[in-house]
């Protein structure tokens, strides 16, 4: 596997590959996301515009099989910053770790850990952040599309030093695979103090 670290405008040539990867992986539970390339290109443009962003791009024999993105929370859209501002947090001090997506055949090879290591290292290099944060969708335990063998990632995130902050929560809108229209999905944040 080949792993590249890209920043800001360096991400632009890879938008289509990243969009397709996100759509494919986020179709799985718990996101059940029925995505489209136009929305994805618009979403990923935020990372292209931020000179301080990071994309960890993983290729195997030329094919993009995994990726992870991050950027200063202050460079994110207002909807991502709002829960922090409402709770009295300074977005300027938070580095936002967005998605980590890996195709099924490449899971279990340490990429999840590598993604966190690279994003946290980038945040420390930038030198102006106290916290790393990410958000995760909250699905009910009895969700009808929850696979029998589904394993939440909470234990993995906890081992990486992240703690759930349910008081930092919001809703994002997307269309589930079985929905005719978008609906609000509850999301909550996990944080890690960079000094720890």
* pLDDT tens digits, 81-130: 999 999 999 999 999 999 999 999 999 999 999 999 999 999 999 999 99
Q: Give all domains of the chain, ordered by start, each with its CATH number.
A: 2-193 (3.40.630.30)
- Residue 11 burial by CB count (10 A; 0-12/13-18/19+): exposed, middle or buried? buried
Region of residue 123 (left: phi > 0; alpha: psi -120 to 50; beta: else): alpha
Tens of pLDDT, residues 144-174: 999 999 999 999 999 999 999 999 999 999 9
């Amino acid at each position: 596997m080949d792993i590249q670290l890209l920043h800001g405008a360096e991400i632009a040539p890879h938008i289509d590959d990243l969009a397709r990867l996100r759509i494919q992986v986020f179709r799985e539970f718990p996101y059940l996301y029925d995505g489209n390339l136009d929305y994805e290109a618009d979403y990923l443009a935020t990372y292209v515009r931020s000179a301080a962003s990071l994309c960890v791009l993983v290729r195997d024999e030329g094919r993009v099989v995994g990726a992870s993105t991050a950027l200063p929370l202050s460079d994110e859209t207002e909807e991502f910053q709002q829960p922090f501002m409402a709770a009295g947090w300074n977005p300027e001090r938070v580095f936002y770790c967005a998605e980590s997506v890996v195709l099924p055949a490449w899971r279990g090879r340490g990429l999840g850990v590598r993604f966190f290591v690279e994003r946290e290292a980038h945040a420390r290099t930038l030198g102006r952040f106290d916290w790393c944060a990410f958000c995760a969708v909250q699905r009910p335990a009895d969700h009808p599309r929850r696979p029998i063998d589904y394993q939440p990632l909470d234990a993995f995130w906890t081992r990486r030093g992240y703690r759930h902050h349910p008081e930092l929560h919001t809703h994002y809108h997307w269309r589930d695979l079985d929905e005719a229209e978008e609906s609000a999905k509850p999301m909550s944040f996990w944080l890690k103090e960079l000094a720890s």
